[in-house]
Structure 1
Amino acid sequence: MKKLMLFLPLFLVFKIATAQVVGKTFPAMTAETVEDKKVNLPKDVAGKYTLIGMAYSKKSEDELNSWFQPVFQKFIQKSKGLMSGFTYDVNVYFVPMFTGVNAAATNTAKRKAAKNIDPQLLPYVLFYKGELKPYKEALDFEKRDIPYFFVLDPNGKIVYATSGKYTDDKMDEVEENIE
């Protein structure tokens, strides 16, 4: 019972924080692919639902990576056979953020990603280099050691937000909000 009592306030604080961003337009962000192609979010993804995962510390990047395979299988990989009609038409981007003194490491991180990330997943990884404050304020980034995920509607409005390591329950919520 004590564990439930401790968990409940944390759960409520998280629900309140995510509720504060739901309904807002995702703030403009310019990020780059490994090949240095610029992608302007949410402008370049208008017209489709979009899942964006963001991380701004090494520890949060590790948890961001826990989403790669499940998201790839659910939203990116093209189904074959009987399941081929059950694919999603959704944009997906994972965005490691390089800010402050870490911004100098962006090109090194791109080269490392090009070597270590599955080539099928690489087009869905964007690198952001710049200020953190505008995103931290607009998206209620409270903790630096966890990744944040946002589902945007076709107009760039946030319809769902969550954070932390991948779980099946979180994926179910993401999927519900995309359907």
Structure 2
Amino acid sequence: MMRNFLILMLLVLPFTGYSQVTGKFFPEMEAETVQDETVNLPVDTKGKYTLLGLAYSKKSEDDLNTWFEPVYLKFIAENKGLFSSFGYDVNVYFVPMFTGVKAAAAGTAKKKAAENIDARLLPHILFYKGDLKTYKDALAFDKKDVPYFFVLDEDGKIIYATTGSFSGKKMDEIESLLE
């Protein structure tokens, strides 16, 4: 009995601390597209559900990249063409965050993205340059080596949060919220 309880606690504890951000409003963030257009989150996304992926280290960016193709195929590409009325009406943004001394690298990262990332995905990549503390405090960023994902409702409230590389289970959870 005690062994089962310990196993349950080991499975649940990593998620309970992070669930503390659900129900809160996503903090305001000003970011830019590769074309230097400003996007204000969540203000510019209000009225639609929004999926955000944020990363603030090289290792977390690698895991963030694992989400690009499956999210593109599920939420962006499916919203085009003959069956567009059956797709999802959701904003999708991936946000590499450049803070502290790394903020100077944001311009170079934008240029590399423009050269190396599929042009169809580029409008969904935003670059944040600035302070990290606001987001660490509000969004429980306690591990720099993992990306953070949030689903926001139409008003900018966080209704789902997860971390790490892509998995089918995480995608299923996100899909169930957006249907």
- For the aligned pair, the TM-score class normalised by the smaller chain equals over 0.9
TM-score by length of 2: 0.92
- Root-mean-square deviation (CA, aligned residues, Å) is 1.6
Q: Does 1:45 align with 2:42?
A: no
In 1: Cα distance, 2:59 partner to 2:115 partner: 20
In 2: Cα distance, 1:10 partner to 1:95 partner: 30
Distance 1:10 1:137, change over 3 A: farther
Partner of 2:12 in structure 1?
Answer: 12
Q: Aligned letter for 1:69?
A: E
Q: Aligned letter for 2:89?
A: D
Q: CA deviation at 1:80?
A: 4.3
Partner of 1:171 in structure 2?
Answer: 171
Partner of 2:89 in structure 1?
Answer: 89
5+ long unaligned stretches in structure 1:
none
Partner of 2:110 in structure 1?
Answer: 110
Distance 1:101 1:9, change over 3 A: farther
Contact persistence 1:53–1:147 (CA under 8 A)? yes
Pairing of 1:50-61 with structure 2 (within 5 A) = 50-61=50-61
Q: CA deviation at 1:33?
A: 0.3
Q: CA deviation at 1:6?
A: 8.0
Partner of 2:21 in structure 1?
Answer: 21
TM-score by length of 1: 0.92
Q: CA deviation at 1:11?
A: 3.3
Q: Aligned letter for 1:120?
A: R
Secondary structure (helix, strand or coil) at the match of 1:66 reads helix
In 2: Cα distance, 1:46 partner to 1:110 partner: 25
Q: Percent identity among equivalent residues? A: 62
Q: CA deviation at 1:142?
A: 1.2
Contact persistence 1:79–1:86 (CA under 8 A)? no
Q: Aligned letter for 1:121?
A: L
Number of aligned residue pairs = 175
Q: Aligned letter for 1:13?
A: L
5+ long unaligned stretches in structure 2:
none
Q: Aligned letter for 2:60?
A: S
